[in-house]
Amino acid sequence: MKIAVLGCGILGTKIAGELAYHGHRVKIWDVNIEALNAVYRILEEDKKQLTEDGLLFQKNFVGQVLCMSRLEETVNDADFIFEAVKEDLEIKKDLLERVSHLCKGDTIIGSNTLRLRINGVMACVMNKDRSLGLRFLYPVYYIPEVEINPASFTSQTSIQRVREMLEKMGKTLFFRSGNHPLILSEEQREERKALRVEQLLNSSGIPCMFEKKIPVLSHEGNVAPVKETRRESTNVETECGICMNRMRDCLLCPCHHMITCYECSKMLHNRRDCCPICRKDITEVIRVYHS
**Predicted local distance difference test score (pLDDT) of residue 139:** 86
243 in the same domain as 111: no
| Torsion angle (degrees, nearest 10) of CA 41, 46, 51, 52 | 110
- Output the average pLDDT for the chain: 82
Q: What is the pLDDT of residue 233?
A: 40
Single pTM value for the model:
0.69
Q: Judging by beta carbons within 10 Å of its beta carbon (0-12, 13-18, 19+), is residue 49 exposed, middle or buried?
A: middle
**232 Cβ neighbours under 8 A, 6+ residues apart:** none
Residue 9 above 60 pLDDT? yes
- Banded model confidence at residue 155, pLDDT cuts 50, 70, 90: very high
The CATH number of the domain where 235 resides is what? 3.30.40.10
> What residues make up the domain containing 247?
228-287
**Residues 160-203: tens digit of each pLDDT:** 999 999 988 888 888 876 667 777 778 877 887 777 777 666 65
Residue 48 maps to which CATH number?
Answer: 3.40.50.720
pLDDT of residue 235: 47
Residue 184 and residue 47 in one domain: yes
Amino acid found at 108:
I
Residue 196 belongs to some domain of the structure: yes
